[in-house]
Amino acid sequence: MRRLTIHHIDDVRLDPYERPEHGPKDVVVRMKACGICGSDLSYIKNGGIPVAGTMTALGHEGAGEVMHVGDEVEGLTIGQAVIVNPMNTPSFIGSGGPEGAFTEELLVREGQLGHSLLPIPEGIPYDVAAMCEPLAVALHGINRAEVTAGSKLVIFGCGPIGLGMVMWAVDRGCDVIAVDLADERLARARDLGARTINPAREDLVAQVKAYHGAELYFGRERASTDAYIDAAGAPSILGDVVRMAKRHARHVITAAYLKPIELPAGPMLTSEMTITTAVGYPTEFPDVIAAMPRLEEKIAAMISHSLPFDAVLDGLKIAATPASAKVMIYFEGAGS
């Protein structure tokens, strides 16, 4: 077998790998599909987790078929199609532990049905099932924004997470504006039902007000947008949002910032807006899985590239380009 592993800064390799023997509480999953995440690219640039030079196994957006079940594991059977919830695994699969889902056979330590391993709905293909993890991240961001049907929402960034947020917000009945510099990604957002802005060509604040309307408060014209989500990570976003936010607007930061960003706190005094964050998916996995049969076509449309495991290094390069959405890696024998 093989495993995708970071060795150092910008040094990632598909190495020979021998899977550890599973214990009585463990489950082994024969991988069928695994998505490339922006976090994977960040880990590679960092040279490993937590510091450069730390050997780090990659892959946390996985789905596959149960091939071994420990004697003390209940409810799981050989041949069962499952999605891996990496946040609920002891080793936090693909984000610093010894296991990563970019391998033919994944050891899930202390595997539990409904916790670290969840059944794939009947008829859902493995590549769509593997979208569960990023879609759960996206759904958690939408939940943190506290938007409901009719809410006006601006989403910055149309990568896989941002597109997932667009899908969930439109599905919830929100009036969505998506913002990105890449026309390819904006086209995908429009296909999902959002209006779009490219700030390289358009006045961001003026166009948000044109789409969502504006209102006067404390002598300032403010956008009538209810909530904003930063899934892009551009330092200018926070200032733009604070300056146009209406009274009690909500801003959710889900992008990872490695350096401090400036906060123009003055305009916040009168808007009383809220700035908060969203990370992971504490409770969202089951909701995503339940929605998959209904949203399967939209989820599948977010997969821009599908490559075999042999070409995973090429997939990493593609995932770093604006033309990509979700790059999905499939394994031999992966079918519905």
Q: Are 18 and 57 in contact (CB under 8 A)?
A: no
Q: Are 58 and 4 in contact (CB under 8 A)?
A: yes
Distance set, CA 270 to CA 228, 247, 249, 253 (Å): 18, 7, 11, 21
Question: Hey, is 223 helix, strand or coil?
Answer: strand
State the number of CA atoms in the 13 A half-sphere of 286 facing the CB.
5
Residues 6+ apart with CB under 8 A from 71: 24
The verdict on whether omega for the bond into residue 50 sits within 30 degrees of 0, i.e. cis, is yes
Distance set, CA 293 to CA 104, 108, 182, 287, 299 (Å): 27, 26, 30, 12, 10
Cα–Cα distance, 314 to 88 (Å, whole number): 29
Cα–Cα distance, 103 to 179 (Å, whole number): 35
Q: Are 322 and 182 in contact (CB under 8 A)?
A: yes
Cα–Cα distance, 215 to 219 (Å, whole number): 10
Reported as type and span, the H/E element at residue 306 is strand 303-308
Record the pTM.
0.95
* End-to-end CA separation in angstroms for the chain: 23
Q: Are 160 and 38 in contact (CB under 8 A)?
A: yes
Cα–Cα distance, 227 to 324 (Å, whole number): 27
Report which of 259, 205, 207 is spatially closest to residue 233, judged by C-alpha positions: 259
pLDDT at 336: 43
DSSP 86: G
Residue 287, Cβ density class (10 Å: 0-12 exposed, 13-18 middle, ≥19 buried): middle
φ/ψ of residue 270, rounded to 5 = -90, -25
Report which of 280, 315, 331, 31 is spatially closest to residue 133, judged by C-alpha positions: 280
The domains located in the chain, with CATH, are 2-131+302-330 (3.90.180.10), 139-277 (3.40.50.720)
Cα–Cα distance, 51 to 12 (Å, whole number): 14
Residues 6+ apart with CB under 8 A from 206: none
Report which of 134, 143, 190, 186 is spatially closest to residue 161, judged by C-alpha positions: 134
Low-confidence ranges of the chain (pLDDT < 50): 336
